[in-house]
Amino acid sequence: MLNYDLVVVGGGPAGMAAALKAKECGVERIIILERAETLGGILEQCIHSGFGLTYFKEELSGPEYAARFIDMVEKTDIVVKCDTMVLDIDENNLVTAVNKKDGLLKIQAKAIVLAMGCRERPRGALEIAGTRCSGIMTAGTAQKYVNLDGYMPGKKVVILGSGDIGLIMARRMTLEGAEVKVVCELMPYSGGLNRNIVQCLNDYNIPLRLSTTVVETHGKDRLEGVTIAQVDDHLQPIESTKEYIECDTLMLSVGLIPENELTKNVGIAIDRVTNGAVVDEMRQTDHKGVFACGNVLHVHDLVDFVTMESQLAGQGAADYILGNAPAEAVYVNTTTGNGVRYLVPQRVNVKNPNDVKLYFRVGKIYKGAKVVLEIDGRIISSKKRPKLAPGEMENVIISAAELAKMDENSTITVRVEE
């Protein structure tokens, strides 16, 4: 059995940032376990630009953003094991992993950072009728084929879902000579970033059809076409609007699901909306010494925010390992008010001496609405925003001064006021 102070599960942007921060805070023995062949996570296949604008104040591609962190990890004594899959974490923070070289690994950790990322929602979850021929895949799988393997998974493409990966792949496939016929979005608004709609669809004249879905796939061996239809207010397809579109590929970008199977096995509480762990402001779960950050905690739009969140988790893990955490913990739950789908963190230790940023998403599009932070019934902040959209993560800040005034009976609510 091996002993480490900190085991980081996942070597994507979240895992690397958490490990580096913990190192910087003075944690000695750190190991990153990564299931892919290299560090970097999903960034490795995101060869488009737009990464790092917030964190590095410059525009990088995914692999460039990852490379900065990989370089930093390599300059430390953080141990990295790639091609290594974590199979289990038990309640005593004993991690079981496996790879070709070491075989089965048992690693006892003082603290653990969960940074496994997320997976794409597959076709089966969507109830699209029709055949199960080849040519139906998630946008991320297609992205891997094109950007990493160098093969085209299709020539005439329909994309269902306007999540960011779908939008990015619409442009990518077009640049590679494929014809992207349409991007369909079930909801009346896109789930992706506005900048991606402009740069990936509008710039290439790819139509985005809102309130439209794919109801049926056709083709015996390879996909030959899909039937699309508009949906009503209850998201049910409208028969009279059905339309056949010839295509050989259907790409799905219909949502991301945090990969929390390991988390659930430990018995850690999961937020039903985020599908990630319930955490405090340092991203500690309800299982002491286990932290979670990045897309395994809640799906982010921008890697920059993943990095910043993961640094918090790394700091939290370091404080825990080194005994620097606040001696006393008084937790207050954060409550979602009108229009707010979820809040991360779900609870805040009011003994924390620093400002706390609450991240959230709204349930629909608002124009000119106010974001209101209420503590103990007092309005702490109320800021008018030109636009709030489900596809763009928002935040509000609770100052350290406000925290200091709170006790175990306090309440924290974030709501949207129209």
Partner 1 sequence: MCYDVAIIGAGVIGALTARELSRFALNTVLLEATNDVAMGATKANSAIVHAGFDAKPGTLKAKFNVKGCEMMPSVCKELSVPYKNNGSLVVAFSPEEMDHVRALYERGLANGVPQMSILNEEELKAMEPSLAPEACGALLAASAGIVCPYELTIAATENAVTNGVEFRRNSKVEGIDFENGVFTLHTPRGDLQAKYVINCAGVHSDDVSRMVGDDSFTIIPRRGEYFILDKAVGNMVSHTIFQCPTAMGKGILVTPTVDCNLMIGPTAEDLPKEDEDNTATTPKGLAQVKKFACKSCPAVSTRNAITSFTGVRAHPDVDDFILGPSKVNAQFIQGAGIESPGLSSAPAIAVYLAHVVAEAIGDVKANESFNGERKDVFRFRHATDEERAAAIAKNPAYGRIICRCETITEGEIIDAIRAPAGARDVDGVKRRTRAGMGRCQGGFCGSKVVEILARELGCDINDITKFGSGSNILFNKTK
Check if the beta carbon of residue 105 is closer than 8 Å to that of residue 58.
no
CB-CB neighbours of 136 under 10 Å: 24
Q: Do the beta carbons of residue 282 and residue 291 sit within 8 Å?
A: yes
Taking the complex as a whole, the smallest distance from the CB of residue 125 to partner 1 amounts, in Å, to 6
Nearer CB in complex with partner 1: 261/408: 261
Q: Which is nearer to partner 1, 101 or 288 (CB)?
A: 101
Amino acid symbol at 313: A
Q: Does 141 bind partner 1 (CB under 8 A)?
A: yes
8-state DSSP, 314: H
Verify binding: residue 125, partner 1, rule CB under 8 A: yes
Structure tokens at 275: 């599908």
Torsion of CA 23, 91, 271, 254, to 10 degrees: 80
- DSSP helix/strand/coil, 277: strand
**Residue 122 binds to partner 1 (criterion: CB under 8 A):** yes
Cβ neighbours of 238 (radius 10 Å): 12
Which backbone phi and psi does 303 adopt, to 5 degrees? -65, -30
Residue located via tokens 């290594």: 84
Instruction: Return the number of the residue (52 or 153) whose C-beta is nearest partner 1.
Output: 153
Distance of closest approach, residue 94 Cβ to partner 1, in angstroms: 12
The reply on whether position 12 binds partner 1 by CB under 8 A is no
Query: Does 268 engage in binding with partner 1 (CB under 8 A)?
Result: no
CB-nearer residue toward partner 1: 244 or 404: 244
Among 92, 205, 220, 233, binds partner 1 (CB under 8 A): 220
Q: Cα(298)–Cα(289) distance, rounded to whole angstroms?
A: 19
Residue 154 backbone phi and psi in degrees, to 5: 180, 165
Name which position in 15, 62, 154, 276 contacts partner 1 (CB under 8 A).
Answer: 154
Which of 61-69, 82-90, 184-192, 303-311 is the region at the interface with partner 1 (rule: CB under 8 A)? 82-90
Q: How far is the CB of 265 from partner 1 (least distance, A)?
A: 12
Kindly tell me which residue out of 57, 71, 92, 100 binds partner 1, with binding defined by CB under 8 A.
Answer: 100
Cβ atoms within 10 Å, residue 292? 31
Give the interface with partner 1 as residue ranges (CB under 8 A): 35, 83, 85, 87, 96, 98-104, 119-120, 122-125, 127, 129-135, 137-138, 140-141, 144-146, 149-155, 176-177, 215-218, 220-222, 237, 257, 259, 261
